Amino acid sequence: MNAPVMPETLAAPLPDALLDALQRMFGTRLSTTLPVRQQHGRDESVFDVPPPQAVVFAETEAEVAQAVAACAAHRVPVIPYGAGSSLEGHLLAVRGGISLDVSRMDRILRIDAEDLTVTVQPGVTRKQLNEALKHEGLFFPIDPGADASLGGMAATRASGTNAVRYGTMRENVLGLRFVNANGEIVRTGSRAKKSSAGYDLTRLLVGSEGTLGVITELTVKVHPLPEAVSAAVCFFPTIDAAVRTAMQVIQIGVPIARCELLDANAIRAVNAHDKLGLKEQPMLLMEFHGSEAGVAEQAAVVQEVAGEFGGEAFEWATTPEARTRLWTARHHAYLSGLQMRPGCRAVTTDTCVPISRLAENINASIAEVEAAGLPYFIVGHVGDGNFHMAYLLDPALPEELATAERLSAQMVERAIALEGTCTGEHGIGLHKQAFLRDETGDEAVAVMRAIKAAMDPLGILNPGKVFAV
Amino acid sequence: MNAPVMPETLAAPLPDALLDALQRMFGTRLSTTLPVRQQHGRDESVFDVPPPQAVVFAETEAEVAQAVAACAAHRVPVIPYGAGSSLEGHLLAVRGGISLDVSRMDRILRIDAEDLTVTVQPGVTRKQLNEALKHEGLFFPIDPGADASLGGMAATRASGTNAVRYGTMRENVLGLRFVNANGEIVRTGSRAKKSSAGYDLTRLLVGSEGTLGVITELTVKVHPLPEAVSAAVCFFPTIDAAVRTAMQVIQIGVPIARCELLDANAIRAVNAHDKLGLKEQPMLLMEFHGSEAGVAEQAAVVQEVAGEFGGEAFEWATTPEARTRLWTARHHAYLSGLQMRPGCRAVTTDTCVPISRLAENINASIAEVEAAGLPYFIVGHVGDGNFHMAYLLDPALPEELATAERLSAQMVERAIALEGTCTGEHGIGLHKQAFLRDETGDEAVAVMRAIKAAMDPLGILNPGKVFAV
């Protein structure tokens, strides 16, 4: 069992000299008030950890560098903070320290439309970026659901609904600037589409969860808005039928842009929340991007495959307004799902397996949760082999948390046996450290620790995350 | 100027105890004969370095581990060797040591057609893999020209003609096994399409040029053979017109599968070599993959764009035989080009810039080489912003090497100013170490060195490459 890492005892008080130094740098942008600290010490995870001891709001890269250097001088932890939408305890101050909020670093620095790249500060959110891009006929595809910051999305190697076609942050970040543990600024990558120049520090930072550096600038790929976009929902007699349709669509090479699963529980939740009147059956929500002819061709293939698995009641949407209505179901699923059990907290799984093993993983996971009797719902990026099962827990019943953790551990064990991963897109954080070891082995974790020790010898950068240093 | 790193003085003789140990492990698969050593100490680069002191031919991962552990015990360098087709001095024994030849580890371990993944030993070559895959209706797209080994292609982050659509080794390696500097086996990644599980060790090893570990197994993505493939050549009045056509094709989002440039010099060379009878004008060689309708649609768009830039004499090929004839020009360009100046050696550049800056980089590079009066030819993966200019040098005239190095340095300086990279796909090796520093800065190189020191504290893994440790 993968018990959550327990927070350490309360950290020592912050040194006065550090607070004085931060006060000089940040003035009123240093806060030690409890509400601000609490806001920076709370996330979607189930952990109850004391908030950071102070919060600073950086507005420039130089300020990030100064803050990290000051914390290094006093050996005080620094926890980067973007939009606060991470799910695995990434932002929790388990060793005390300073929350370094970069959300005010929210400028889009350059849009290079001819090269399909943009350069942004880390606090820019994906919706903000897409709003600016649409005037250029471009879009940024990574959509993890929340309106996350791009710095945070890079730090957790986020992906989401469009990853099946456009890849994840791993594929879409071309270069970075970050502040290292000494407070120095490091540049990685370039605006070239490919490079063989030395170690791939860009992709080492992507997914490093704030433990190797504080990202201060990102250059990411963007894409031309497709000439035609078509979305469809389709309902299936069973989850298995929906999943097998998704599997076959991927296996025959349809370049589908989105391929999302909602189970009947999730549909019931969004129907209750948004009065959508959808059939309360397993549903695939798909989107096709391309030329008019290409989209029609893809849609026809998918419709045929779905038909073979009993898929019916196709509903198509080609205008932005009609697509928005269909996507409401997906985008509201998580919050609607939580409202199915008022006052509940959720433990959400994130396994990802090779596409041929997806039905096996989902079917077994459903059998286990049904046997355990916990309320749950499923949403999934099934085109990637990734899905989320949310267990809805009554916080007053600690045995439910234990049950959810047991079910989650069983699912992860199975995903690893199926040659998959414990986390497709949420990251390790506090919650999955034992799973990381199970998945990749002691030797790989030892290499990760050696890199961490080399790049952050004092252990001040988001300590206790990925592995307990 | 980026003078080549000079080899150190001759290494100390190998310790007898190490030779005895390797003899016990490898028997007749240990060689200290001069021809075998010379064969493992020679590549396409212009460096003249003494050969490795011994060569071992590993047949299993366990043997790789044992060989590395033995070398570590004696602090003797280990240089991984695949197909020997690298271009920047990667395999040269600049500090002496053992060449660890993995070319006999050439088994395709698994083809998981349903998941579009294959798992191979590092000595499997790309042609060998494609031969095995074609019976499954699949292909492996990365084509660097040479029939390189997949281990070597991963180690140099290779790409080539299909990268414009399918990405490079960076995007196509899902997971690895490697032997670290202690002789331990480390696993990275999984067969899942995406993951957020800890630091991205897979992509740290990809492009590490044998300096962080010896790759012993790779799981890579493969792709369904497209339903339709169409290739075309088109001739242009000027290089600039050809390059601007490629730029516009990329910028409007045509999913072209290959987009290669040959200049008139390269065409003259392949005409002389292969009697192809091609017009001796700048040429784009393009390939389209997709459905029948999709391919036709792409081709029509490209033909229109080319026409705007004076492109003419389109020649189409849709059968495999006809395509092979067109691609002969590209695949024979390098060797044909060398034969234009009998006895010559080549210095080949590899800059890659954002697509909008490509014409500027190519045009200025041509003006410089023409002014200097060196024979040259150009081939290029122009859809990626990457091209190679080969300067043809008389080895008896050292001033020609100096001129080529000066021209290469000017081109790199310009590519960096244009926000590109000194190497799109060949790697740093011995040749581009100063360029790496110019490109990414001292801080990033310091991070790379810290990682190298953490993962290989004795400095035995391919020492002197990427940076002189």
What was the ipTM of the complex prediction? Answer: 0.96
Does residue A380 belong to any structural domain of this protein?
A: yes
Contact B352, B339 (CB under 8 A): no
Q: Select the residue of B117, B180, B352 nearest A192 (Cβ to Cβ).
A: B352
Residues of A within 8 A of B436 (CB-CB) are 197-198
Cβ–Cβ contact A441 with B under 8 A: yes
**Domain edge (last residue) among B165, B195, B224:** B224
Interface contact B370, partner A, CB < 8 A: no
pLDDT for B322: 83
Distance CA A95, CA A51 (A): 10
**Count of domains observed in chain A:** 2
| Shared-domain flag, residues A395 and A316 | yes
- Tell me the residues of chain A between 102 and 131 that have a Cβ less than 8 Å away from chain B: 112, 114-117
Q: Does B167 touch chain A (CB under 8 A)?
A: yes
Would residue B61 count as lying in a domain?
Answer: no
Q: Are residues B393 and B262 located together in one domain of the fold?
A: yes
CA-to-CA distance for A179 and A334, rounded, in angstroms? Answer: 34
In a domain, A1, yes or no: no
Statement to judge: residues B289 and B201 lie in one domain = no
Cβ–Cβ under 8 Å, residues A186 and A177: yes
- Look-up of token digits 């903000």: A128
Show which of A192, A224, A256 is a domain's final residue.
A224
CA dihedral A139, A145, A147, A153 (to 10 degrees): -80
A325 and A388 belong to one structural domain:
yes
Name which of A436, A430, A439 is nearest A465 in CA terms.
Answer: A430
Q: For residue A184, which residues of chain B lie inside 8 Å, CB to CB?
A: 443
Kindly state whether residues B185 and B246 are assigned to the same domain.
Answer: no
Residue B105 CB partners (closer than 8 Å, separation 6+): B58, B59, B60, B61, B64, B121, B122, B123, B151, B216
CB-closest option in B192, B195, B201 to A448: B201
Residue contact B198–A436, C-beta within 8 A: yes
Q: Are A385 and B193 within 8 A, CB to CB?
A: yes
**B364 exposure class (CB count in 10 Å sphere: 0-12, 13-18, 19+):** middle
Is residue B35, in this structure, part of any structural domain at all? no
CB pair distance less than 8 Å for B194 and A466: no
Contact B354 A453 (CB under 8 A): no
Q: Are A220 and A118 in contact (CB under 8 A)?
A: yes
Q: Is the pLDDT of residue A438 over 80?
A: yes
The pLDDT assigned to B9 comes to 53
pLDDT digits (tens, 9 = 90+) for A242-295: 999 999 999 888 999 999 999 999 999 999 998 888 999 999 999 999 989 999
Domain-located, residue B117: yes
> What is the distance between the alpha carbons of residues A89 and A364, in angstroms, rounded to a whole number?
27
The pLDDT tens digits of the residues spanning B17-28 come to 999 999 999 999
What sections of A53-206 are H helices per DSSP?
Answer: 61-73, 126-133, 150-155, 163-166, 169-172, 201-205
Residues of the domain holding A156: 108-224
User: A282-319: buried (b, 16+ CB within 10 Å) or exposed (e) per residue?
Assistant: bbbbbbbbbbeebbebbbebbeebbeebebeebbbbee
Looking at residue B328, its pLDDT comes to: 84
Same domain, A251 and A349: yes
* Distance, CA of A400 to CA of A406 (rounded, Å): 10
Q: At what angle do helices B442-455 and A442-455 cross, to 10 degrees?
A: 140
Angle B383-A119-A188 from CA coordinates, rounded to 5°: 80
pLDDT at A5: 46
Given an 8 Å threshold on Cβ–Cβ distance, is B185 in contact with A443?
yes
Same domain, A382 and A331: yes
Confidence of residue A9 (pLDDT cuts 50, 70, 90): low
Cβ(A262)–Cβ(A210) under 8 Å? no
pLDDT value for B216 = 98
Give the CATH number, domain containing residue B163.
3.30.465.10
- Choose the closest CB to A191 out of B212, B224, B354: B354
A231 and A220: one domain? no
Residue A112 shares a structural domain with residue A193: yes
How would you class B319 by CB atoms within 10 Å of its CB: exposed for 0-12, middle for 13-18, buried for 19 or more?
exposed
Average pLDDT, rounded, for chain B: 94
The answer as to whether B19 is a domain residue is no
List pLDDT tens digits, range B139-194.
999 999 899 999 999 999 999 999 999 999 999 999 999 999 999 999 999 999 99
Assess whether A289 and A419 both reside in one domain.
Answer: yes
A342 occurs within a structural domain: yes
Report how far apart, in Å, the C-alpha atoms of B248 and of each of A273, B252, B304, B355 are. Answer: 47, 6, 11, 9
Chain B CB within 8 Å of residue A69 CB: no
Give chain A positions within 8 Å (CB) of B432.
197
Question: Are residue B389 and residue B313 in the same domain, yes or no?
Answer: yes
pLDDT exceeds cutoff 50 at B5:
no
Q: Give the CATH number for residue B320.
A: 3.40.462.10
For residue B247, tell me if it sits in a domain: yes
Choosing among B196, B256, B447, which should be mutated to test the A contact, i.e. which has the most A CBs within 10 A?
A: B196
Chain A hits for B425, Cβ within 8 Å: 194, 196
Chain A residues touching B117 at Cβ < 8 A: 354
Q: Residue B145, Cα to own-chain centre: how many angstroms?
A: 8
- Chain A CB contacts of B184 under 8 Å are 443
* Model confidence at A456: pLDDT above 90: yes
Cβ partners under 8 Å of residue A73, min gap 6: A18, A21
Chain B residues with beta carbon closer than 8 angstroms to that of A450: 454-455
**B306 has a chain A CB within 8 A of its CB:** no
Q: What is the model's pLDDT at position A3?
A: 42
What pLDDT digit, counting tens, does each position of B349-404 carry? 999 999 999 999 999 999 999 999 999 999 999 999 999 999 999 999 999 999 99
Whether residues A310 and A280 fall in one domain = yes
**B443: chain A residues, CB-CB within 8 Å:** 180, 184-187
